[in-house]
Amino acid sequence: MKRILSGIQPTGSINLGTYLGSVKNFVKLQDKMPDYEFFIFIADLHAITIHKDKQFLRKKIKELAALYVACGLDPEKVNLFIQSEVPAHSQMQYILQCNAYMGELERMTQFKDKAKKQEKGVTVGLFSYPTLMAADILIYDPDYVPVGKDQKQHLELTRDIANRVNNKYNDIFTVPEPLIAEIGAKIQSLTDPTMKMSKSDPNDKSRIDMLDPENIIKKRIKSAMTDSIGTIKYDPENRPGISNLLTIYSVITNMSFKDIEKKYEGIGYKDFKEDLGEIVYQELKPIQERFNNLINSEELDDILDKGRDRANQVASIKVNKLMDRVGLGRKRR
Ligand code: AMP
Ligand code: TRP
């Protein structure tokens, strides 16, 4: 059976950017591609490349799991699991590290950005992060990996490593294709629309978190940065603020930019933003309700147990196979 795989780090609250750029896309794919087996996970090992408080991390892992399900991932269709509960990811990473070069990791823009922000020194984990991501992916031989635009470079590196290992060890990996959604792949910050909406932005006003209450959601949209032109028109080069709001509108309602522009001809930002605030709120409200029912439920643990068991089944076969090809240990019987 063909496979699709993706993951998200449990590093902060999930925001509208992650949801529209990634989780909503997973939900669409699970319904559109019933012939594929889905693996969606919580990348908790990735979260500790930068130090996290223990209690905070535990809480965020659980929250992300509940949000995945609340956003519509169906545990009958998707294997949902926590990365660190599948030890093969770390085992595989080590072997891949021995097939990756310092130079190529040094070129990763995400590493360069994050390294700059570290005051207490940059960990080896942050540097080798893309090899863990390659391991996450290659273990499961997925055909497609849906991600936001910012992960494209990591996917390219994963493909390079896969090809290199395939040449050395006789075609052991499927070389995966990224699946980047046409619109919504990058939702920008509400206060600086030239930057992505990010959970690590110190300014809370720059984003909407999935669990924000109605008044905050509406306030954030209302105060989102636009420009002084005043017309509702999609023009990301020259008018990134209003274009970002149009993107949010379009991804949620499935309306084209043209149709939205037509609908708001002669109407100003204030009314447009009021409508958009309501649209975002109506999208998030049912998700928040499901989240609250799930977060402390046994059901959530059962889902994660089931996902972990299936992931371990696939992953341990793959890592043993690779160890055999590399010549590690004794030949498995
Ligand atoms: P992260 O939240 O950084 O772990 O990213 C999880 C997934 O969401 C990745 O596939 C990202 O590309 C995507 N993502 C994160 N932030 C945004 C954003 N502002 N717009 C669109 N996609 C995003
Ligand atoms: N690095 C990704 C991010 O920061 C999360 C991630 C980890 C991932 N492993 C993955 C995404 C494997 C897709 C596939 O967003």
User: What distance in Å separates the CA atoms of residue 212 and residue 285, rounded to the nearest whole number?
Assistant: 10
Which CATH architecture is the domain 2-180+297-326 placed in?
A: 3-Layer(aba) Sandwich (3.40)
For residue 158 and ligand 2, the question of a CB distance below 6 A is answered with no
User: What distance in Å separates the CA atoms of residue 308 and residue 35, rounded to the nearest whole number?
Assistant: 21
Q: What is the helix (H) or strand (E) element at residue 157, kind and residue range?
A: helix 152-169
- Distance between first and last Cα of the chain: 26
331 catalytically annotated: no
Residues 45, 83: contact at Cβ < 8 Å?
yes
State how beta strands 144-146 and 78-82 pair: unpaired
With a CB cutoff of 8 Å and minimum separation 6, the contacts of 182 are none
Q: Which long-range contacts (CB under 8 A, 24 or more apart) does 264-272 make?
A: 264/232, 265/232, 267/232, 268/230, 269/226, 269/230, 269/232, 269/242, 272/232, 272/245
199 catalytically annotated: yes
Ligand nearest to the CA of 193: 1
The pLDDT profile of the chain, 333 residues, written as one tens digit per residue, is 899 999 999 987 789 999 998 899 999 999 999 999 999 999 999 999 988 899 999 999 999 999 999 999 999 999 999 999 999 999 999 999 999 999 999 999 999 999 998 888 999 999 999 999 999 999 999 999 998 888 999 999 999 999 999 999 999 999 999 998 766 668 999 999 999 999 888 999 999 999 999 999 999 999 999 999 999 999 999 999 999 999 999 999 999 999 999 999 999 999 999 999 999 999 999 999 999 999 999 999 999 999 999 999 999 999 999 999 999 999 877
Of the candidates 238, 233, 208, which has an alpha carbon nearest to the alpha carbon of residue 221?
208
**Helix axes of 88-97 and 124-138: crossing angle, nearest 10 degrees:** 110
Ligand 1 pocket residues where CB is under 6 Å? 8-9, 17-18, 21-22, 147-148, 150-151, 185-187, 196-197, 199
Ranges of each domain in the chain? 2-180+297-326, 204-292
Residue nearest to atom 13 of ligand 2 (CA): 6
At the topology level of CATH, where does 204-292 sit? Tyrosyl-Transfer RNA Synthetase (1.10.240)
User: What distance in Å separates the CA atoms of residue 133 and residue 46, rounded to the nearest whole number?
Assistant: 8
